[in-house]
Amino acid sequence: MSPIVRAVQRVRPAVVNIRGEKTLPTTEAAGSGVEGARRVNGMGTGVAIDPRGYILTNHHVIDGVKEIQVTLADGNRYMAKLVARDPETDLAIIKIDPPTPMPVIPIGRSDDLLPGETVIAVGNAYGYEHTVTRGIISALHRAVQVSEAQYYEDLIQTDASINPGNSGGPLLNEDGEMIGINVAVRAGAQGIGFAIPVNKALDVATRLLADYTQKTAWHGVKAADLPGAEAEGVRVEAVEEGSPAAQAGLKPGDRITAVGDEKVRRALDFYRTLLERKAGEQIPLVIQRGGQSQQLALNLASH
């Protein structure tokens, strides 16, 4: 039971394998001027970020896939739907409907990483489900042009084997916390793989869920993480004028510490609590203002 074994056991139930058939354009047929198309089996990996089946993965894993098939660590398979995506940062959120709550990936930090520290990758490498590889952080803040269409800034470089199918899966530290989302390999080079730092991935996931929840049940809150790993709650950055949040009495600078019975530690948690809520629902909030704890009622509305 080495630290790496414990790390893998900790995250395994929250890592999923993704498969799907997609159609790719081929080069123009010689002399005909007509583009053909070919069907290929795509594969990738994802991580559960909410017990109800919300999964974070790479956009390129699910882009163009009609039926997204997700396999859990226990072998059960589900069809997923696309919730939100951001092609520019190559991240997407998909949703399955598991019969019981899913374990959620433990989340670490990427702002304190050091070249040389041990990392572990888990993923669907070449279709071999839940493949584990390990290595070190080779470098930080790499800018990588993968194709004409895809450019990444500020990636983690690792020599842990990252193969096709690892995309969207977690890069872990020895504590079994996700510190990155594996994203790309350098074609023709061994021992050079890349991952999106987890802080950036969470920022994108938070923005995607914020936009998504505003459409499903209007709230009008722009929330942000508090500085410091031990900080509790999320900071209200802005309140939309005339919104349910404004009517509830929320103000910029307030700190939201709980939504209903659920404590919130980061902005992603806050927006997760609003998922699947409907207009007309009343949500109790616990906030801190001027050192005093208060309770407010947020009445969700239609936009």
The pair of three-digit structure tokens given for residue 246, joined into one six-digit string: 């404004």
**60, 138, 161, 219: the active-site residue:** 60
Residue 33: per-residue pLDDT: 43
> Would you state the structure tokens that stand for residue 108, as one six-digit string?
């670490």
| Catalytic residue selected from 50, 59, 90, 225 | 90
CA 187-193-199 angle, 5° bins: 135
pLDDT score of 30:
41
The yes-or-no answer on residue 302 being catalytic is: no
Which of the residues 110, 138, 161, 167 is marked catalytic? Answer: 167
pLDDT in tens, the chain (303 residues): 999 999 999 999 999 999 988 666 554 434 444 444 455 567 899 999 999 999 999 999 999 898 999 999 999 999 999 999 999 999 999 999 999 999 999 999 999 999 999 999 999 988 888 999 999 999 999 998 877 778 898 999 999 998 888 999 999 999 999 999 999 776 666 789 999 999 999 999 999 999 999 888 899 999 999 887 667 899 999 999 999 999 999 999 999 999 998 999 999 999 999 999 999 999 999 999 988 999 999 999 987
Q: What angle do CA 101, 170, 184 make, to 5 degrees?
A: 140
Active site residue 90: yes
Angle 38-40-42 from CA coordinates, rounded to 5°: 150
SS3 282: strand
CA distance 37 to 120: 36
Determine the pLDDT at residue 23. Answer: 65
Number of other residues whose CB lies within 10 A of the CB of residue 262: 10
Active site residue 86: no
